[in-house]
Amino acid sequence: MRRSYIFTDKSYSELSILSFLLGVLSVAGELYSLERSFLNEGALDERLGMAFFLCFLFSLAGAFLGIWSRLEKERFYLFSNLGILLNVLALAGAGVILIL
């Protein structure tokens, strides 16, 4: 069996990993706020409302960082793509909740 080695200088961007983590935190925080609101029969106290708003801001920052890291050359883009996806889902979820 022939072995082949691939040597590359590519690495993951720190911005892409941060974008992914902000996306995970945003989605988890929004889901937690919605669950607590559902258990309180639709009532949302100030702390959960502020947590939801902070998750919205985190998802804005995460989407920006994901797009910025996607524009870097010679990088792996897995975490950039996942970060953009999670943050856009969090933004869409927050938008739907605010519209409703």
**pLDDT tens digits for 65-89?**
999 999 988 888 999 999 999 999 9
State the pTM of this model. 0.85
Residue 1 is predicted with a pLDDT of 60
pLDDT band for position 38 (50/70/90)? confident
Round to whole Å and give the CA distance between 76 and 65.
Answer: 15
pLDDT band for position 37 (50/70/90)? confident
3-state secondary structure at position 43: coil
Q: Which two tokens stand for residue 46?
A: 């100030």
3-state secondary structure at position 74: coil
Q: CB count, 10 Å around CB of 82? A: 17
Round to whole Å and give the CA distance between 66 and 18.
Answer: 8
Residue 10 is predicted with a pLDDT of 83
Across the chain, mean pLDDT equals 89
Residue 24 is predicted with a pLDDT of 96
